[in-house]
A and B are shown apart, each in its own frame.
Chain A
Amino acid sequence: MRPVIYVLSFLAVLSLGFWAYREHYQTREALGEVNSLQVEIADLREALNLQRAEWAYLNRPDRLRELSTLNFDRLGLMPLQPGQFGDAGQVAYPAAEEMLAPIDNPVSISGSTEPTGDFP
Chain B
Amino acid sequence: MTRTPLRPLARILSARAKGENPDKIEHENLRLRHDAIRDRARGRAEVRLLLLGAVFFVAFSTIGARMGLLAATEPVEPRASAPGAEILAQRADITDRNGRVLATNMLTHALYAHPKDMVDPAGVAQKLAAIFPEMKAPELERRFKDGRSFMWLRKVLSPEQMQSVHDIGDPGLLFGPREMRLYPNGQLAAHVLGGTSFGAEGVHSAEVIGTAGIEKAMDARLRDPARGGDALELSLDLTVQATIEELLDAGMKMMNAKGAAAVLMDVRTGEIISMASLPAFDPNDRPNPVLPKGAEPGDSPLFNRAVQGVYELGSTFKIFAIAQAMDLGLLSPDSMVDAKAPMIWGKFKIKEFENHNYGPLLSVSDVIAKSSNVGTARIALTIGGARQQTFLRALGLFDPSPVELIEAPYAKPIVPKRWPDITTITVSYGHGIAASPLSLATAYATIANGGIAVTPTLLRRTEPMKGIRVMSAQTAHDSVAMLRRVVTEGTASMGEVPGYFVAGKTGTAEKPRASGGYYDDKVINTFAAVFPANDPQYVLTVTLDEPVETSGPKPRRTAGWTAVPVAAEVIRRVAPLLGLRPQVEAPPLDGLTAVNN
A residues contacting B by CB (< 8 A) are 27, 30-31, 34-35, 37-38, 41-42, 45-46, 49-50, 52-57, 59-62, 65, 79-85, 87, 89-90
Task: Judge whether A30 and B104 touch: CB under 8 Å.
Answer: no
Which residue in chain B gives the minimum CB-CB distance to A60? B185
CA distance A42 to B498 in the complex (A): 54
What interface size band does chain B fall in? 35 or more
Residues of B within 8 A of A34 (CB): 79-80, 82
Closest 5 CB pairs of A and B: A61-B242, A56-B184, A56-B101, A57-B184, A82-B582
| B188/A60 in contact, CB under 8 A | yes
Q: When the two chains form their complex, are residues A61 and B89 in contact, meaning their CB atoms are under 8 A apart?
A: no
Min CB gap B510→A, angstroms: 35
Closest chain A CB from B442 CB (angstroms): 27
Show 12 residue pairs from A and B whose CB-CB distance is below 8 angstroms, ordered by the A residue. A38-B85, A42-B87, A50-B106, A53-B101, A60-B186, A61-B185, A82-B499, A82-B582, A85-B582, A89-B589, A90-B586, A90-B589
B80 touches A45 (CB 8 A): no
Is B576 in contact with chain A by the CB < 8 A criterion? yes
Q: Are A53 and B184 in contact (CB under 8 A)?
A: yes
Which residues 70-107 of B sit at the A interface, judged by CB distance below 8 A?
79-80, 82, 84-85, 87, 89, 100-101, 104-107
For A31, what are the chain B residues with a Cβ–Cβ distance below 8 Å? Answer: 79-80
Residue from the list B84, B87, B577 in contact with A80, Cβ < 8 A: B577
A82 contacts B575, CB within 8 Å? yes
Q: Does B587 contact A (CB under 8 A)?
A: yes
Assuming the A-B contacts A31-B80, A34-B79, are A53 and B104 also in contact, with contact meaning beta carbons closer than 8 angstroms in the complex?
yes
Q: Does B472 contact A (CB under 8 A)?
A: no
Q: Enumerate B283-321 residues with CB–CB distance to A below 8 Å.
A: none
Total of A-B residue pairs, C-beta within 8 Å? 87
Question: In the complex the two chains form, is A41's CB within 8 Å of B497's CB?
Answer: no
Chain B residue numbers with a CB within 8 Å of A54 are 184
- Tell me how far the C-beta of B262 lies from the nearest C-beta in chain A, rounded to whole angstroms: 16
- Selected from A38, A56, A65, A85, the residue in CB contact (under 8 A) with B100 is A56
Q: Which of B246, B572, B576, B590 has the most CB of A within 10 A?
A: B576
Q: Is the CB of B589 within 8 A of A52?
A: no
Task: A79 to B569: give the CA distance in the assembly, Å.
Answer: 12
Which residues of B line the A interface, CB within 8 A?
79-80, 82, 84-85, 87, 89, 100-101, 104-107, 182, 184-186, 188, 238-239, 242-243, 246, 497-500, 572-573, 575-577, 581-582, 586-587, 589-590
Decide: A53 and B80 in contact? CB cutoff 8 A: no
Chain A residues positioned under 8 Å from B182 (CB to CB)? 53, 57
- In the complex, the answer to whether A52 meets B107 with C-beta atoms within 8 Å is no
Kindly report which residue of chain B lies nearest to residue A62, judged by CB atoms.
Answer: B186
Given contacts A35-B79, A84-B576, contact A50 B188 (CB under 8 A): no
Check B184 against A80 for contact (C-beta < 8 Å). no
**Cβ contact within 8 Å between B589 and A46:** no
In Å, the complex CA distance between A120 and B87 comes to 88
CB distance from B594 to the nearest CB of A (A): 16
Give min CB distance, B566 to chain A, whole Å.
16
Out of A37, A46, A84, A85, name the residue touching B107 (CB < 8 Å).
A46
Which B residues are in CB contact (< 8 Å) with A84? 576
In angstroms, Cα B86 to Cα A46, docked, is: 11
Q: Which residue of A lies closest to B573 (CB)?
A: A79
Q: Which residues of B contact A82 (CB under 8 A)?
A: 497-500, 572, 575-576, 582
Provide the bound-state CA to CA distance between A79 and B573, in Å: 8
CA distance A41 to B105 in the complex (A): 17
- Shortest Cβ distance from residue A6 to the other chain B in the assembled complex, whole angstroms: 20
Q: Are B84 and A38 in contact (CB under 8 A)?
A: yes
> Contact at A38–B589, with CB atoms within 8 Å?
no
Question: Measured between C-beta atoms, what is the minimum distance from B312 to chain A in Å?
Answer: 34
